[in-house]
């Protein structure tokens, strides 16, 4: 009888240890997702700064700029620019960008994607100043998302 009770206590403590371990692992996984989201938001803000500078000073076509950005970033943000560049073969710049945001599989949440889709309104449709002002607005929204993510 005593051996049976001892075995039950060992099993009980083992199960408690498993619950503690799995809870810790789940917590680490969730916290990493937040860290990765913050990194992606900052990378996107920097990529948009490069995009804005290239539009203002080099007058390169948008697909070429997106190609340069995607080559310089080997992460989820780079993939968004690569997908958008590839989509521009068949779609307008605005639709290509919007679809690239929808297809992205990174750590950006719904609000982040909504902010980034706002960039598509004037992308490739207006003059350089209009596109730059839309990028500025998007960067301001991204800055708010970055502060909230921190």
Please tell me the total count of domains within the chain: 1
Query: Domain limits at 75?
Result: 33-149
Half-sphere exposure of 2 (CA within 13 A, CB side): 0
Let me know if residue 106 belongs to a domain. Answer: yes
Q: Are 54 and 60 in contact (CB under 8 A)?
A: yes
The predicted pLDDT at position 2 comes to 63
pLDDT at 82: 92
pLDDT at 25: 80
Length of the chain counted residue by residue = 150
Q: Give a yes or no: residue 87 inside a domain.
A: yes
pTM of the entire predicted model: 0.76
Q: Can you give the pLDDT at residue 83?
A: 92
pLDDT confidence of residue 31: 66
pLDDT one digit per residue (tens) for the chain, 150 residues: 566 777 788 888 888 888 888 887 887 777 677 778 888 889 989 999 999 998 888 888 888 999 999 988 878 888 999 999 998 888 888 898 999 998 888 888 888 888 888 888 777 767 777 788 888 888 888 888 888 877
Q: Is there a domain that residue 14 lies in?
A: no
Let me know if residue 16 belongs to a domain: no
On whether residue 28 sits in a domain, the answer given is no
């Amino acid at each position: 009888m005593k051996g049976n009770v001892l075995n039950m206590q060992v099993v009980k403590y083992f199960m408690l240890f498993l619950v503690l371990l799995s809870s810790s692992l789940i917590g680490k996984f969730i916290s990493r997702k937040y860290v990765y989201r913050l990194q992606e938001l900052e990378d996107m803000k920097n990529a948009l700064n490069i995009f804005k500078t290239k539009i203002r000073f080099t007058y390169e076509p948008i697909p070429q700029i997106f190609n340069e950005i995607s080559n310089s970033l080997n992460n989820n943000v780079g993939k968004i620019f690569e997908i958008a560049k590839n989509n521009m073969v068949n779609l307008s710049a605005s639709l290509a960008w919007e679809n690239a945001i929808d297809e992205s599989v990174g750590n950006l949440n719904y609000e982040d994607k909504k902010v980034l889709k706002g960039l598509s309104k004037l992308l490739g449709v207006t003059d350089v100043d209009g596109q730059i002002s839309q990028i500025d607005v998007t960067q301001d929204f991204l800055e708010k998302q970055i502060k909230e993510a921190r």
